[in-house]
Structure 1
Amino acid sequence: MQSQLFQPDVYVTPKWYIFKETELGKVHSSLPWDELAKCLPKENIGPGAPRWFDARGMFALMFLKSYLNISDEKLIERFNTDWALQLFCGKLLADNEKVKDKSILTRIRTYMAENTDLEAVQGVLIDHWKRDMSNTHVLQMDATCYESYIRFPTDVKLLWESCEWVFEKQLYRWCRILGFKRPRSKYIHQKRRQMDYERKRKKTHKEGTRRKKALLYLLDKGIKQLQQVLDASSSPLLTEQERVYLKTVRKVLKQQKFLMTHPANELKNRIVSLPKPYVRPIVRGKENKRVEFGMKVHMLQVDGICLIDKMSFNAFNESTRLKTSVLKHKNRFNQLHQLGADRIYATNANRTFCTSKKIFTCFPKKGPKPHSKQEHQLSSLIANQRATVMEGSFGTHKTAYGLTKVKVKGEKREKLYVFFAVMTANAVKISKRRQQDEAPPLLVAA
């Protein structure tokens, strides 16, 4: 039996009216589904495009993933048994029908990452939410880091993982398949030495340096032996994904050799994870966590609604984004009178720009003239708003919408995941505001 796709004349089932009154139904009502569907090509276009869901259904699954904050497998299980989730996606299953493909969310995420302009999607959502936003003349901005799910990187761990992949997953496997004799190496001996090293609770710098030198020699030899086996075969042995992985291992070897004779700050684009080679160390300078490994996001906030200005896995100075952010805000909301940001934005160039645009900021005033009493109160109000509401929204994204550690793999897919988590948090805020506006006034006894 074919599944029942919702059309305007089908919204007459009693389930739909019950769904509209739920919290999830309110979130559903706060999203412009027709406009969002136009941001994605038809689902039958392109290789690997999912066939179960249309464009609207794919957007809905991305919002549900962040809203429920559960794994892909659990989300599909709930979708098969919960008609509220099916109504949210606009696809009501028949009684004897269920989605059996557990990897469908991965394929949908890959398809959307390749075919979706996130800036255009954000524009559609903000245009739809404008009527629910009041203080649009105030702009807050700050940067945060959404960490990727990787083990804490060290040079010894990275080199040993590279050696394991080269010898056990590639060299020894292909020698066994092709019937070649294993080339001589110290891999088994170094494996025992590595286990002894990992058992130690305290590892000195001298021991770490000794391990790195031994692993560098072993990895260099293993890559050369693997290349000889690959050249001896008449047909290509590695898949496209394995060739990319081998290229990453070669780059790790080159970078680690460089670090043996140069300081770490001279190395650019340092790889810290083999499965996620695009992740870079982001120096944040926090007391409890000086370095974070993930995506740095420059965030704007207008009336409590977060807008993404820039997402990058490479570190950048957020103070250079002030002028661009102000222009984006004016193009979207047509007015800007007050700006809140921390002290890193208070450069001379940014101060001059804000003064020329007649924008009042919370920056500490320079020169002999102090703030007047009214200016001091307004500056403190803007700074407190940024430090509480905006910083609090970052914590909400990480704890409630799955951004504590991003487990999705792939640079574009991670950006898509973070984007929908932030937009889902916005949709929940908008739905709550609309509920408050629609609530009847309380009667006060005379």
Structure 2
Amino acid sequence: MKDIMQLPFFKDFDGYSPKYHFFRNSLLGQVHDSIPWDGLVACLPEERTGRGALSWFGGKGMFALMFLKSYLNVSDRQLLERYNTDWSLQYFCGKVLAENQQIKDMTILTRIRAYLEKHCEWENFQEVLINHWKQDVNNSHVLLMDATCYESFIRFPTDVKLLWESCVWVFEKQLFSVCGEMGMARPRSKYREQKIAQMGYSRKRRNSFKETLRRRKALVYLLGKGIGQLQQILDRFQGAGLGLADFARFAVVKKVHQQQEFLLDNPPSALKDRIVSLHKPYLRPIVRGKENRPVEFGAKAHVLQVDGLAFIDKLDFNAFNECTRLKLSVAKHKRFFGPAKQLGADRIYATNKNRSFCTDHKIFTCFPKKGPRKHGKSEKILRSEISRQRATVMEGVFGTHKESYGLSKIRVKGEKREKLMIFFGIMAANAVKIAKRRAEKESPPDQKAA
């Protein structure tokens, strides 16, 4: 660890390092300079000093790795492999490895995410970035807003799959293993017969409604029996060696059984906070109403855009009506960028309350005309331009986040961790825009003309 060199510096092992000069003039180096590292590190507790093994990365290094993961759109393993062989990534993180060193701990990013989610909220990080970037915002009087869903990486949920996963966890991963450790006979159940029936059900390309209903009833009965048997053993042997994570999963399985038993006699609309994934119980169905994807499973985000930069207004795994966020969004915009004079949003925001609010605060909107009043030619042109910007730039930003910054399917597990990944993906896209914008301003006039 003593051979690791820390930035800022302009020297390598043999003196002057041209590599660092090349890094500073590259796009990655410009992205590095656009991020307020000191402000982000100030949101974390002070680093511990004293005896013990040295950590690979400090506060800046942890944030830099999160930005790099979104910027490069790679997995944790791929990022560490590139870090070990790419000196530009090492300069970006402020840690240059010696020639005979490499990071072999492939779980380091998981521990970094756990540390960040434990000690701070993404709202604090975003406030630091907004205060640093608002000097680069030109058209701060124009506010665009829209909502989207950043999907989580799960298999498409069905009741049969969810019930069978719960049965497998109760019987194979807990009940049978606990009985083996205690040296006691397994309690009687129909698990083996139901496993054969489940295999036959899964092999069919299509199953009728009656077959699916019959399978659900059988699995609900089997899961209830397994939960009772496992609970008796836990009460008898005082936990039987289960950890906190196992008890948390057991509570989720019990709730799944209650919900699925309720759904046998009631419509799905009567059930609130429906669990759709055993490994990610915080996910909820988000009904979007799109033709190709009517329901999505992930976090719903209400995003504000100012001069091409996107910021998160609200991020929640429960569905919410984004039109109720207009007043709060305008207040947030005023706090950071000043009062909004022009506002672009789709028709769902055009409620009477929002129209009255915008009229009282003299905010020009792109909402469809309502009433006998006619608009002049200049107003029609301005309304058309705001609508075009919202429909093209705003929607294009969502596509860029999902395709280029790793937000199409979020693979990390944990409610706060998924929110952090969404945050770093959006902020990495903003950092690239800021870097390009600053580079364009600093470039000579002849290069701009070219």
Shorter-normalised TM-score: what interval?
over 0.9
From 297, 300, 310, give the equivalent of 1:293.
297
Using the TM superposition, give the Cα deviation of residue 7 of structure 1 relative to its aligned residue in structure 2, in angstroms: 4.6
From 26, 30, 36, give the equivalent of 1:32.
36
Partner residue of 2:68? 64
Using the TM superposition, give the Cα deviation of residue 438 of structure 1 relative to its aligned residue in structure 2, in angstroms: 1.7
Instruction: Count residues with an aligned counterpart.
Output: 443
Partner residue of 1:203? 207
Using the TM superposition, give the Cα deviation of residue 408 of structure 1 relative to its aligned residue in structure 2, in angstroms: 0.5
Partner residue of 2:146? 142
Summarize the alignment of residues 47-446 of structure 1 with structure 2, pairs less than 5 Å apart: 51-234=55-238, 236-442=240-446
Looking at structure 2, the residues matched to 36 and 410 of structure 1 have their Cα atoms a distance apart, in angstroms, of 22
Which runs of 5 or more residues in structure 1 are unaligned?
Answer: none
C-alpha RMSD over aligned residues: 1.8
Deviations 1:290-316 (A, max 9, x none): 000000000000000001001000000
Which amino acid in 2 is paired with 1:248? Answer: V
Which amino acid in 2 is paired with 1:441? Answer: P
Deviations 1:1-48 (A, max 9, x none): 514342545566322111111121111111111222112123439xxx
CA contact (8 A) 1:2 1:94 kept: no
Change (3 A) 1:330 1:317: same
Tell me which moved more, 306-315 or 219-228.
219-228
Change (3 A) 1:362 1:240: same
CA contact (8 A) 1:50 1:104 kept: no
Query: What SS does the aligned partner of 2:293 have?
Result: coil
CA contact (8 A) 1:280 1:293 kept: yes
Does residue 4 of structure 1 match 2:8? no
Consecutive aligned runs of 4 or more in structure 1 exceeding 6 Å deviation: none
Query: What SS does the aligned partner of 2:319 have?
Result: coil
Using the TM superposition, give the Cα deviation of residue 236 of structure 1 relative to its aligned residue in structure 2, in angstroms: 3.9
Looking at structure 2, the residues matched to 386 and 142 of structure 1 have their Cα atoms a distance apart, in angstroms, of 8
Which amino acid in 1 is paired with 2:350? Answer: A
Looking at structure 2, the residues matched to 103 and 178 of structure 1 have their Cα atoms a distance apart, in angstroms, of 33
CA contact (8 A) 1:149 1:406 kept: yes
Using the TM superposition, give the Cα deviation of residue 219 of structure 1 relative to its aligned residue in structure 2, in angstroms: 0.4
Using the TM superposition, give the Cα deviation of residue 234 of structure 1 relative to its aligned residue in structure 2, in angstroms: 4.9
Tell me which moved more, 116-125 or 202-211.
116-125
Which amino acid in 2 is paired with 1:309? Answer: D
Deviations 1:333-352 (A, max 9, x none): 11310000000001111111
Does residue 41 of structure 1 match 2:26? no
Tell me which moved more, 375-384 or 432-441.
432-441
Tell me which moved more, 114-123 or 302-311.
114-123
Using the TM superposition, give the Cα deviation of residue 231 of structure 1 relative to its aligned residue in structure 2, in angstroms: 2.2
Looking at structure 1, the residues matched to 8 and 263 of structure 2 have their Cα atoms a distance apart, in angstroms, of 63
Query: What SS does the aligned partner of 1:309 have?
Result: strand
Which amino acid in 2 is paired with 1:400? Answer: S
Query: What SS does the aligned partner of 1:442 have?
Result: helix
Query: What SS does the aligned partner of 1:180 have?
Result: coil
Looking at structure 2, the residues matched to 297 and 360 of structure 1 have their Cα atoms a distance apart, in angstroms, of 24
Looking at structure 2, the residues matched to 260 and 50 of structure 1 have their Cα atoms a distance apart, in angstroms, of 56
Looking at structure 2, the residues matched to 19 and 51 of structure 1 have their Cα atoms a distance apart, in angstroms, of 24
Change (3 A) 1:9 1:215: closer
Using the TM superposition, give the Cα deviation of residue 367 of structure 1 relative to its aligned residue in structure 2, in angstroms: 0.8
Which amino acid in 1 is paired with 2:432? Answer: V
Which amino acid in 1 is paired with 2:4? Answer: Q
Deviations 1:254-306 (A, max 9, x none): 00111111111111100000000000000000000000000000000000000
Looking at structure 1, the residues matched to 268 and 24 of structure 2 have their Cα atoms a distance apart, in angstroms, of 56
Deviations 1:209-247 (A, max 9, x none): 100000000000011111122223256421100000000
TM superposition score normalised by structure 2: 0.95
Query: What SS does the aligned partner of 2:445 have?
Result: coil
CA contact (8 A) 1:41 1:55 kept: no
Deviations 1:75-120 (A, max 9, x none): 1111111111111000111122221211000000010011123222
Using the TM superposition, give the Cα deviation of residue 366 of structure 1 relative to its aligned residue in structure 2, in angstroms: 1.1
Looking at structure 2, the residues matched to 347 and 249 of structure 1 have their Cα atoms a distance apart, in angstroms, of 41
Change (3 A) 1:408 1:140: same
Change (3 A) 1:444 1:190: closer
Query: What SS does the aligned partner of 2:242 have?
Result: coil
Looking at structure 1, the residues matched to 448 and 20 of structure 2 have their Cα atoms a distance apart, in angstroms, of 35
CA contact (8 A) 2:178 2:240 kept: no
